[in-house]
Chain A
Amino acid sequence: MNKLFVLIISLICFTYPAYSIEKDFIVEEFLLNKNIEKPIVNDNYNYQSTKRLPIKMTVLTPIKSEKDIFEGDNIELKVMENVFIDKKIIIKKNTICTARVETIIKNGMNGIPASIILGNFYIPDIDSNKLQNKYEKFGFDLSLLVYPIKWVLTPLPPLGSLTNFIKGGHAKISKKDIITIKYYPNQS
């Protein structure tokens, strides 16, 4: 009887870890003790009025290439002109705003250009939910030139494949580039 009891207990002890659930060490280490707010959801939209105002901005520090920045970086922008609603200024010229580098796409074969996607725009006193939150800047696109050459050369192998080595341009954002995002003031 005792032997049977010992056997059952040892079986439980040995098999228990097999049923334990996998823990997420990243959550346990970095998030568990933090107070994190739920991200804002835009589910109260109302498109009865689709009035939208363009907000024009420029970067404070130019980005020479997508290699100079990292995804997740915040960059500073400056509003280029006053934004009005019913003759009332809602965003003043030269207001400093921020945006986040969301994604960087490296330039690729066949002339495909690099691109920098900015998002998470923050403009003081403006509800971010009412902003169209994406801007993408592409590098010089060579694919319009490369694809026809590729198709012409395809019957003469391997010449067609040589166009694979032509790479697209790097993405730059200079102070002259106007970053325009839309603001939907009437959205609830």
Chain B
Amino acid sequence: MKIINYAILILSIAIFSNSVLANEEKLAKEQEIQTKINDCGYKILNSNQIENRIIFTYDDNEKESILKNNKTLLDREVIIYRNAYKNMENIDEMAAFIAREIVIASRSYDDVANGFLRSLQIKAAPKKFEIVADKQAVDFMVKSGYNPIGLITYIQKTASQKRQDLISTHNLTSKRLATIYEYIYTKYPYYLKENPYFNTESYQNFLLTSTNNRKMLEEKIKNSSKENLKYE
């Protein structure tokens, strides 16, 4: 009987210590991710002389709860959920995500009542500010030394394609991608010419799926036109 009791005791100690070790391992891994996110986020803030306080948090939950408030606008806290993180294959894609959120968070500091009204406008009409955030994210990334093509590959992988955007709160992803591509072409063509992501599957897929939009841009460049293109 005594032997059985000892065996049970040893077994429970082993299980307990194993779970402690597993927890510590998980914590260390999360700490590593958090450090990477902080370094990237603060580098973007510093390089772009952004004087607003914004913090960055890694959240192990799969994605944002529908019931939760938007922390980026409300608390100026950029939260990276596991679902978003697992699609970040490189530091440029991480910078892309963070830079976009920084644009939104820093806009929430402007205007009436410490940015309350601006936050309300972004929340009420996200479609309007989506493309602005994409473009400014490109600027932020470039100034802090990240490759803006990361924004294209990240959106290509993570944002789904709706049927239409006429009566939607968001733009078509293809439209956003084409606008980012055009912005990079006009302002930072270096990154399109020297593109380390050219042969990646996600960028190749972007090229494949954006042919019509890029044809429109080709015509615009040929005609030296300035008009805004109506991307599909």
Contact: B47 with A41, CB < 8 Å?
yes
Query: By the criterion CB–CB under 8 Å, are B228 and A43 in contact?
Result: no
Q: Kindly state the separation between the CA atoms of A53 and B117 in the bound complex, as whole angstroms.
A: 29
Q: What is the CA–CA distance of A37 and B198 in the complex, to the nearest angstrom?
A: 19
- Complex CA distance for A54 and B48, rounded to whole angstroms: 17
Say whether, besides A45-B46, A112-B128, A25 and B214 are in contact (CB < 8 Å).
yes
For the residues of A in contact with B, the DSSP-based class is loop
Write the A9-39 contact mask toward B (1 if CB under 8 angstroms, else 0): 0000000000001111111011110101111
Contacts of A117 on B, CB cut-off 8 Å?
132, 136
- Given A26-B192, A103-B135, A43-B120 contact (CB < 8 Å): no
Within the complex, the shortest CB–CB distance from B5 to chain A, in Å, comes to 63
Complex CA gap A22/B193 in Å reads: 15
| Closest residue on chain B to residue A38 by CB atoms | B190
A117 to B48, CA, bound (A): 16
Task: Please state if B218 and A25 are interface contacts (CB–CB under 8 Å).
Answer: yes
Q: Is the CB of A108 within 8 A of B128?
A: yes
B139 within 8 A of A: yes
A140 within 8 A of B: no
Encoded as 1 (CB less than 8 Å from any A CB) or 0, chain B from 129 to 169 comes to 10110011001001111000000000000000000000000
Enumerate chain A residues within 8 angstroms of B128, measured Cβ to Cβ. Answer: 105-106, 108, 112
B16 at the interface (CB under 8 A from A): no
Query: Of the candidates A27, A45, A103, which one forms a contact with B192 in the assembled complex, judged by CB atoms under 8 Å apart?
Result: A27
| Complex interface residues of chain A between 122 and 155 (CB less than 8 A to chain B) | 132-133, 136, 138, 141, 143-144, 147
Q: How many residues of A contact B (CB 8 A)?
A: 46
The answer to whether A31 touches B145, judged by C-beta atoms less than 8 angstroms apart, is no
A45 touches B124 (CB 8 A): no
Residues in chain A near residue B192, CB distance under 8 A: 24, 26-27, 31
* Distance A29 CA – B187 CA, assembled complex (angstroms): 17
A66 to chain B, nearest CB (A): 11
A71 to B139, CA, bound (A): 15
Our pick among B46, B111, B190, B218 for the contact of A39 (Cβ within 8 Å) is B190
> Closest chain A residue to B139 by CB distance?
A119
Known: A22-B208, A24-B198, A36-B189. A102 touches B47 (CB 8 A): no
**A62 on the interface (CB 8 Å rule)?**
no
State the CA gap A158–B194 with chains docked (Å): 54
Question: Which residues of chain B from 167 to 198 have a CB within 8 Å of any chain A CB?
Answer: 185-190, 192-195, 198
User: Using Cβ atoms and an 8 Å threshold, which residues of chain B touch A32?
Assistant: 193
For the complex, is A84 an interface residue (Cβ under 8 Å from B)?
no
Chain B residues 205-232 with CB under 8 Å of chain A are 207-208, 214, 217-218, 221, 226-228
B70 to nearest A CB, angstroms? 17
B125 is an interface residue with CB less than 8 A from chain A: yes
Closest to B49 in A: A132
For residue B129, which residues in chain A have a CB less than 8 angstroms away from its CB?
Answer: 105
Chain B residues positioned under 8 Å from A133 (CB to CB) = 139
- Which residues of chain A come closer than 8 Å to B125, judged between CB atoms? 108-110, 112
Nearest Cβ on chain A to B117's Cβ, whole angstroms: 6
What are 17 A-B contacts defined by CB distance under 8 Å? A21-B199, A24-B192, A26-B221, A27-B195, A31-B192, A38-B190, A39-B143, A41-B142, A45-B49, A71-B228, A72-B226, A73-B226, A102-B136, A103-B136, A119-B139, A141-B111, A141-B117
- Give 12 new A-B contacts, CB below 8 A, not counting A21-B204, A34-B189, A144-B112: A21-B198, A24-B198, A25-B218, A27-B192, A31-B192, A36-B190, A38-B190, A103-B132, A105-B128, A108-B125, A110-B125, A138-B111
Which A residues have a C-beta under 8 Å from some C-beta of B? 21-27, 29-32, 34, 36-39, 41-43, 45, 47, 70-73, 102-103, 105-106, 108-110, 112, 117, 119-120, 132-133, 136, 138, 141, 143-144, 147, 182, 184
The 5 residue pairs across chains A and B that have the minimum distance between CB atoms: A70-B226, A41-B145, A22-B207, A42-B47, A36-B190
